[in-house]
Amino acid sequence: MQNRGSPNKVVCVLGDGELNEGSVWEAVLVANAYKLDNLLFVVDRNFFQANMPTEELIPLEPLTDKFAAFGAAVKRIDGHDFIALEEALTSFPFQKDKLNVLIADTRRGKGLPSIEARADRWFCNFTHDEVEALLGELHGEHSATIESETLVVR
């Protein structure tokens, strides 16, 4: 689009687990080679890939430095802070002639203490009662008790 003179912007949302794919880094190199400053990669940095912490599988940190080394203009924010998200998104492009990368640090299951940042509770076949309990927990009514078997995903 940019090469055709279009003023449109493109946003690509990536999970941090996807960053283990070489095609992502190839895309970063190509975007910088063509100076695609209308392109924004938003990385959901929740520190998990499937049901395993990213840093135990293939360490990604220092992630900001890695994207910068590939030529990107990088911002890192708290992905649960809507004001920070709005400020980052409205300031895009961050730098002329560079791919833009916004790393949004998040926590899986944020706001649900019984499953928050727990790999063993991310892939489960919850019962109806467990779903109801989780909804109650989300609304601050009580803590949920989860007994469903964890599904193994790799």
Q: Identify the pLDDT of residue 7.
A: 84
CA 117 to chain centre: 14
Compute mean pLDDT per 10 residues along the chain, 154 residues long, and list them.
Answer: 78 96 96 95 93 89 97 98 97 96 95 85 86 91 85 66
Structure-block tokens of residue 145: 């008790």
Q: How far apart are CA 22 and CA 131, in angstroms?
A: 37
- At the fourth CATH level, which superfamily is domain 2-105? Thiamin diphosphate (ThDP)-binding fold, Pyr/PP domains (3.40.50.970)
Whole-angstrom Cα distance, residue 55 to residue 38?
30
Q: Where are the domains of the chain?
A: 2-105, 112-154
pTM confidence score: 0.87
Burial of 24 (0-12, 13-18, 19+ CB in 10 A): middle
Show the tokens assigned to 88. 């980052």
